[in-house]
Amino acid sequence: MINNPFAEKGIIACQCCGSGEYLFNEDGNRNGYCGNCGARIDWPEVELDDWNIPAVNLPKLCSTVMAKYGEREVKVWYSKYGNWMPDGVMTYLKSPDYWRYLTENEHEESNT
pLDDT tens for 56-108 read 778 888 888 999 999 999 999 998 888 999 877 788 999 999 999 888 777 76
Indicate whether 56 belongs to any domain.
no
- Is 84 part of a structural domain of the chain? yes
The model scores a pTM over 0.75: no
For range 39-65, the mean pLDDT: 80
The more confidently predicted of residues 49 and 101 is 101
What average pLDDT does the segment 51-59 reach? 81
Q: Is residue 71 part of a domain?
A: yes
**Would 50 be classed as within a structural domain?**
no
Q: Is residue 102 part of a domain?
A: yes
Across all residues in the chain, what is the average pLDDT? Answer: 82
Q: How many CB atoms lie within 10 A of CB 71?
A: 6
Q: What is the mean pLDDT of residues 4-9?
A: 67
Domain count, the chain: 2
Strand order in the sheet with 84-86: 84-86, 72-78, 63-69, 98-101
- Indicate the burial class of 102 (C-beta count within 10 angstroms; 0-12, 13-18, 19 or more): middle
pLDDT of residue 10: 62
Whether 52 is in a domain gets the answer: no
Residue 53 lies in a domain: no
Average pLDDT over residues 24-44: 83
Range of the domain at 69: 63-111
